[in-house]
Structure 1
Amino acid sequence: MTKPGLVYYKQLLFIFFCLFLVSFAKAQPQTITLKGTISEKGKNNTEHPVVAAKILFSKKVFSFTDKEGNFTLQIPDTAKRIIVQYSHVGNDTLQLTDLTKDLKIVYPMYQAIKDVVIRQKRFATEISLLTPQKSELISSKELLKAACCNLSESFETTPSVDVAFTDAVTGYKQIQLLGLAGPYTLITRENIPEVRGLASITGLTFTPGQWIEGMQLSKGTGSVVNGFEGLAGQINIELKKPMEGDNQFYNLYQSNQGRSEGNAYLRFEPKEKLYTNVFFHAKSQWMKVDQNHDHFIDQPMGNSLIAANRWMWFGKKGRELQLGVKYNTTNNWGGSEHFTKDENTKTSPYWGMKLKTNRLDAWSKIGKVYEEKPWKSMGLQLAFSNHLQDMTFGRKTYTADENSFYANYIFQSILKNTNRIIKAGATLSYTDRNEKVNGDRYQNNELVGGLFSEYAHTFSKKVNAVLGARVDYHHLYGVYFTPRFHIRYAPDDHVAIRASVGKAYRTATIFSENLGLFSTNRTVLIMPSKKDGVYGLQNEKAINSGVNATYKFKLNYRPGTLSADYYYTRFLNQAVADWEETQFVKFYNSKKLSYAHSLQVQLDYAPVRKLDVRLAYRLHDVQTTYGNTLQQKPLNAKHRAFINVSYETRNKWSFDYTVQWTGSKRIPSTAFNPEALRLPVSSPAFITMNAHINKAFASGIEVYGGVENLLNYMQKNPILDAENPFGSYFDGSLVWGPTMGRSGYLGVRFKKKDTIR
């Protein structure tokens, strides 16, 4: 029997698509042919035709003058202006008063002057002073300062993001923003949610860094257009576009620890205004490495393959279409150095681990820009993913599959003028997740539909703000009301002061977000608080507020940026992962005091040309009530400091050096362990250093190399009771520092710009 709620959402989905199709097929204005002639005054009052001048009505509607200076242009009968572009006048906007008459445009005599070259310094990471929400624009130049093998390894030179291993055996890394774990950050691919659910941790490895064109990183709650999640912030990934940039790109990478990688990228233009690109990635870890001599390999062996293809089409009358698909397959194994790939982890005398993952992502974007009203547009985002994983850890098993669907319709227009922009739309998402943990089954479905609206107002050059709200209905948790507000004040052209406040909701996927628990022999205890909730738990909700200031300056004629931000997060209901009892990991809801203070100060400065220096300090005070005791979140450094120095030479050598100081971290209590297996209350502070060198040649070839963890600093004994892997106290989750020692690497890149058809 069909559930009433499901019938309601099917009806909502049907209406949702009907509205889109009706608006998409809406009658357009009539098209007319505008004719004209463009000439230029010469000596003795003569006139000469202007050849090859570009006449634009919009980005996609344009024409050129012929050898007689004549042109024709198909435009709507409601057109008010066109733009003439050519070298002698630059951009000249012409108002159209009578479309029935041919235009005759005569420009004055051109007199050449000596060329003036203007150079402006651009940092690899830029912060705009104009937007209400602070956003760090991370370019591909920033990403190439390191080997940057996948998304989880793309933040080595970004002080806003912390990266740490989830445990000592799986090799997976987790990011942190504002001191909160990665799942509290909304990670999107071109504003479509991607790293979530079963992929909350593993999904960071599914996007190779060499595929990324750039990223936008924002802290605090973001736009309601992107959903009700993203408590700590948003990281939006931009892949290489098929209509611009290099036509071919290849990359080979090899480390001295047996990690080999290859990337290939090709883009094509099969026909005018139709573009496509293909991405390939292959990785192999073929060498066993045990640098800390605990008889467990530091990085899993195995292989992974990732491929993607994207199409973009720009049609008439402002219509646009994008289609994309990405597939990932990973097969890793590890654990004891004596464990072999063909052994059964359940019967082997050695502790072994096997990780198999297959994931398919498909997406589409359908959009329209009204050419006669360029400030008016609408778009539909669609995404589907299928995720399968089969994991075994010693005697433990974790298998899961997940199917998810996402649709987001966005309409944008103005109220009277472009200083008042409004967005509105609807979102529908569905997730079907099945997990089996050591024989226990967990089947969870989530169906959420919602409406949103966002209003952006520019009061003056100094003040602008964005107010947004959305209402969603979750079929398990009821109504979500998500208000958010951002405001910017700029006392002058060099300073921007911003503030934000907003609410966020989230459903915790407790097993995929805490993969480290499978590298232990702890018993999992779930303490239910809502019978029909996901895992029997309530949803999470919290409020985030923050303020930040950015100052762009020049010192000794050299540019710099000084920024400071502070954010406060207060949980109203939190799904707590409690590791405070040695032989257990508990999951329960808590409405008791839980908060995070985050403070960061950062300076970017170029003291001499081509030398960039970045200094940062970060304070994270993250407190959670475990049981009845408010404590610092474990394995989370309260203090961090960061230095990055980059230098480029005129002959295309570039050097990058990064130093990070990580303060002490609280270690979960081991007080009830046998004395020989007790750990200190907190970890020592430590320093890590990375260095990277790159040389670019005119032929399009680049060679690079570097060293990670230059000081060879490693956490001693990251696995507790490693000699007794099937005993009660075996624990590989208490990782506070690097688990891998010094690593060197070499690589080569090749770029080619020739057009491919």
Structure 2
Amino acid sequence: MNFIYRTTLLVLILFASVYAGDAQTLTASSFQVSGACGMCKARIEKAAKISGVQSAVWDMETQQLQLSYDAGKTSVQQIHQAVADAGHDTELKKAADEVYNALPACCHYRNADNPHKQIAASNGLSEQALIYGIVVAEDNKGNFTPLTNAGVQWLGTTQGTLTDSHGVFSIPANDQTKKLIVSFSGMQSDTLDVTDMNHMQIVLASNGELKQVTVSSSRRLSSYISTHDAFRQQLMTPKELLKAACCNLSESFETNPSIDVSSSDAVTGAKQIQMLGLSGIYTQLTNENLPGPRGLATATGLGLIPGPWIEGIQIIKGTGSVVNGFESIAGQINVELIKPNYKEKLYLNGYINSIGKTDLNLNLTQRVNDQWSTALLLHDDFLLNKTDYNKDGFKDLPTGNQFNVVNRWMYDNSKGWTGQLGVKYLQERKKGGELDFTDTDQLSTNRYGIGLNTDRYEGFAKLGYIFPNKRYQSIGLQLSAFRHSQDAFFGTTPYKGNQDNVYANLIYQSIIGNTNHKFRTGAGIVSDRYKETFKTSDFGRTETVPGAFFEYTYTMNAKFDVVAGIRADHNSLYGWFTTPRLNLRYAPLPGTTFRLSAGRGQRTANVLAENMSLMASARNFILSGNSGGKAFGLDPEVAWNKGISLDQQLKLFSRNAMLSLDFFRNDFSNQVVVDLENPREVHFYNLEGKSYSNSFQAELTMAPAKNFDVRLAYRYFDVKATQQGALLEKAFTAKNRAFANLAYHVNGWAFDYTINYIGRKRIPSTLANPQQYRMEAYSPDYFMMHAQVSKTFGKNNSFELYLGAENLGNFIQDKSIIAPNEPFGQYFDASMIWGPVNERMFYGGFRYKIFNK
């Protein structure tokens, strides 16, 4: 791995030396410009090409204008002004209202009812590719006029449509032909090839002859890596989330090769994730960049966010932004929920599986007036059936119910002020254990049972202001608070916990001279009060961490940018500490993106809540803290993360493809070791020695045929930590993993198939157990397969039915519970999980949508 790292770094240096000369004669820059369609693209690029500008390219998806200009002849401020004079808002300048209002209606990007937005809203989740475009006429001065009632029809078919009053058309893609006939009264009809379904073009008409067609498709990759940011961010869209049932957040990652999801034990039904080979506790989980399930919610938090509430997920490997805090070690997962201004006015989802688990979801959005909109999100799931597939006398999944509700409001006065506020409530009641366990057996030795009762109350608010005359300048305030209470028992072992959290973050953003030099700075505070009771011991602490941050972004040209950040915080238990982070992006060639990252992360271990699954065992918990006044007497966990990646766009099968390679290394300067090597106990202590993780991933995304997407990945993990003086391979972590996802859709049908290969895993020693209660030193390797088929119906595909199966191969871990016949004996252990614990499961459901007009 050191050889790979050094070689890639050398290649970066060589590329940098070869292309350094380009920046000496021309200045490259980019900034945001608002627009809505192909006419906007032509107008923006034409307006930007003032004297001294060599090239100007505007991307409708990112809203970024990429420039190359001679700084001796013009300035970026002059380009901003020229674009604003043409009617388009930029980061620096706002277009005059009279100029904006004079634009064609299809170019009114400030309006929620822009026709392009209507088309995208009505078909954004369509599995059938809907393409749309504009037919316009060009006069001698290069101005465009939309053509109403122009004919658009696929060659050799009866499938056609007419443009509306804005010149806009939409038409489903056709599997039989790529030739489109465009006609208009008084002009000669023409047949044009539609060769690219992913980029906006424009239909131009001049001198009575049609010149070219530009078509934009609503179909895009369901999961992709942004190539424009220094942070290597992977975005999972709603379309990706629909590839599986996604009853909750943990199931949302089943089709993502970067995140591993597994059961945490054999009785609670809780799921855990891994990123870069490290436990999910080292991945910062945020909800719209506010604190997500953390602290006491770590063990069960992935099941507390319903899948149908999720609008999108952003995944950053390695170091993220210092603006979001200091806790990210392996990476950050940010979850975006449905907003009040979402395209669906009503979303109704029902789900049931073969063991009887049922989910019901209802999302409602409503625009109250020109400034306010609101959303109500409701979730209820329940399981009443008791199943025991492996005949060990224990429920495969706990029975019970979860109810979850969110009400949120959004404000926008179109004059710079925006705001959001909302409240959340969750109640969960679940019971597991032996099949014949009843409430009267609780905390007794009659029958073994578990109980998980959770109540969570949350409130949040965001307030922001964008300066109208300096749109690059803004200020925002983020606020949140929650109370998380859980009352649990495992056999005769009680566990109770309460966490009160308050969070505030003030962010100011502006530039230094020009938009090549941007910065974000601010201050924040996070405070937690914990009260925990485990068996007969009480654990409590108040931990308050105020701090400040500064993050600088330098864009030398379109090929190179740097984000350097640092924050300083004071932990009331551990004192002052700093968090430096650096991210670099270099694109030496079109379609080639290199990134480097490095930085520090720090977190406080909540050893009881984070290891709640171990309570489903007879192990003794031993805390070996070195002093009082700290969380459980243990030092904070601190690690340095370094990463390098390459994203290369390719052409395979005459279609776009992407090859991605990344390597990340984590080195812990301190870690709270969870030592399971004695089957009679779990030992928590500060690291003495080395602890590190190496993670390599290769991923290829391609489309071998029309409407057929393939994603392949391979990962290698080398994760070790020092335990009792010996450097051991991390338990329950496979060194080798492979992944494939196949997705095909046509005429409203969608077929998705995912297969995972999981290599062998080291199992903690059980040699101290009697022979019948021992496990092998390593687990076998195995495959996991999932599949789903769905069909959409109705206008705008407003109704959908889906059927699917999980664990198609019906592979489950043998002896998922040690000594199930003696649940109160010294050998009982339901936490030694290396593989699936639930049998093959079939499911079905429906989705019904009504779109906002």
Unaligned runs of 5+ in 1: 1-58, 60-71, 94-105
| Superposition map of 1:24-423 within 5 A | 84=100, 86-87=103-104, 110=145, 113=205, 114=210, 116-119=213-216, 122-315=220-413, 317-340=415-438, 342-423=439-520
CA contact (8 A) 1:464 1:489 kept: yes
Amino acid at match of 1:415: I
Matched, 1:687 2:783: yes
TM-score by length of 1: 0.86
- 1:618 maps to 2:715: yes
What whole-Å deviation, never above 9, does each CA across 1:653-701 have from its counterpart, x for those lacking one?
0000011010000000011111221111000000111010110112411
2:647 pairs with 1:550: yes
The residue aligned with 1:9 is none
Provide Cα deviations, 1:592-621, integer angstroms capped at 9, x if missing partner.
Answer: 100000000000000111100010001111
2:696 aligned residue = 599
Pair 89,677 (structure 1): closer, same or farther in 2 beyond 3 Å: closer
Scaled by the length of structure 2, the TM-score of the pair is 0.76
Between the aligned partners of 1:513 and 1:428, the Cα distance in structure 2 is: 23
Q: Distance in 1 between matches of 2:142 and 2:546?
A: 57
Residues in 1 aligned to 2:515 and 2:409: alpha-carbon distance in whole angstroms: 31
Helix, strand or coil for the counterpart of 1:691? strand
Query: Map of 1:505-584 to 2, 5 A cutoff?
Result: 505-584=602-681
Report the 3-state secondary structure (helix = DSSP H, G, I; strand = E; otherwise coil) of the residue aligned with 1:560.
Answer: strand
Within the candidate set 697, 702, 707, 2:805 is matched to: 707
Question: C-alpha separation between the residues in 2 aligned to 1:172 and 1:563?
Answer: 31
Q: Is the 8 A contact 2:755 2:786 kept in 1?
A: yes
Asked if structure 2 preserves the Cα contact closer than 8 Å seen for 1:166 and 1:515, the reply is: no
SS at 1:690's partner residue?
Answer: strand
Distance, in Å, in 2 between the alignment partners of 1:117 and 1:109 is 14
Q: CA 1:145/1:472 → structure 2, altered by over 3 Å: closer, same or farther?
A: same
> More strand per residue: 1 or 2?
1
Q: 1:136 to 1:670 in 2, by over 3 A?
A: same
Q: CA deviation at 1:496?
A: 0.3
- Corresponding position of 2:794: 698
Q: Structure 1 stretch 260-269 or stretch 317-326: which is displaced more?
A: 317-326
SS in 1 for 2:613: helix
Alignment match of 1:667 (pick from 763, 767, 788): 763
The Cα of 1:110 is off from its aligned counterpart by 4.6
- Aligned residue type for 2:749: W
Relative to structure 1, is the Cα distance of residues 88 and 206 closer, same or farther in structure 2, using a 3 angstrom cutoff?
A: closer
Contact 1:604 1:612 in 2 (8 A): yes
Say if 1:88 and 1:110, in contact at 8 Å, map to a contact too: no
- The yes-or-no answer on 1:656 pairing with 2:656 is no
Which residue of the other structure, out of 586, 597, 600, is the alignment partner of 1:503?
600
Structure 2 Cα separation of the partners of residues 88 and 444 of structure 1: 59
In 2: Cα distance, 1:506 partner to 1:365 partner: 25
Note closer, same or farther for the CA distance 1:349–1:108 as it changes in structure 2 (3 Å cut). closer
- Residues 537 and 589 in structure 1, CA contact (< 8 A), matched pair in contact too: yes
Contact 2:652 2:703 in 1 (8 A): no
Percent identity at matched positions?
40
How far did residue 118 of structure 1 move? 2.3
Provide, for residues 213-239 of structure 1, a one-character-per-residue CA deviation record: whole Å limited to 9, x for no partner.
Answer: 111101001000000111010111111
Q: Deviations over 1:558-609 (max 9, x none)?
A: 1111101000000000011111111000111114100000000000000111
Partner of 2:157: none
1:167-197 deviation digits (Å, cap 9, x = unpaired): 1000000011101111111111111111210
8 Å CA contact 2:805–2:843 kept in 1: the answer is yes
Say whether the 8 Å CA contact 1:648–1:654 is kept in structure 2.
Answer: yes
Specify whether residues 92 and 644 from structure 1 end up closer, same or farther in structure 2 by C-alpha distance, changes over 3 A only: closer
| Stretch of structure 1 that moved more, 315-324 or 151-160 | 315-324
**1:556, distance to aligned residue in structure 2 (A):** 3.1
Q: Which residue identity lines up with residue 179 of structure 1 in the other structure? A: G
CA positional deviation for 1:107: 9.0
Which one-letter code corresponds to 1:698 in the other structure? Answer: G
Mapped partners of 1:687, 1:109: distance in 2: 57
> Which 10-residue stretch deviates more, 672-681 or 407-416?
672-681
C-alpha contact 1:571 1:591 (8 A) present in aligned 2 = no
Cα distance in 2 for partners of 1:292, 1:453 equals 55
1:133 and 1:201 map into 2 onto residues whose CA distance is 28
Asked if the contact 2:379–2:405 (Cα under 8 Å) also holds between the matched residues in 1, the reply is yes
How far apart are the structure 1 equivalents of 2:542 and 2:561? Answer: 40
Kindly state the Cα deviation for residue 530 of structure 1 after the two structures are TM-superposed: 2.8
CA distance in 1, matches of 2:234, 2:109: 33
- CA–CA distance in structure 2, aligned partners of residues 277 and 88 of structure 1: 28
Q: Deviations over 1:84-113 (max 9, x none)?
A: 3634995899xxxxxxxxxxxx99685962
Query: Structure 2: which 5+ runs fail to align?
Result: 1-62, 64-86, 111-140, 148-204
Instruction: Indicate the residue corresponding to 1:100 in structure 2.
Output: none
Report the AA paired with residue 695 of structure 1.
K
CA RMSD of aligned residues (A): 2.2
Separation (CA, whole Å) in 2 of partners of 1:108 and 1:383:
50
- Tell me, what secondary structure is at the counterpart of 1:511? helix
Pairwise CA distance, 1:481: 0.5
Cα pair 1:572 1:591 within 8 Å, conserved:
no
What residue identity is the alignment partner of 2:594? I
Cα distance in structure 2, aligned partners of 1:688 and 1:335:
26
Distance across 1 between alignment mates of 2:144 and 2:691: 71
Amino acid at match of 2:761: K
Q: How many residues align?
A: 670
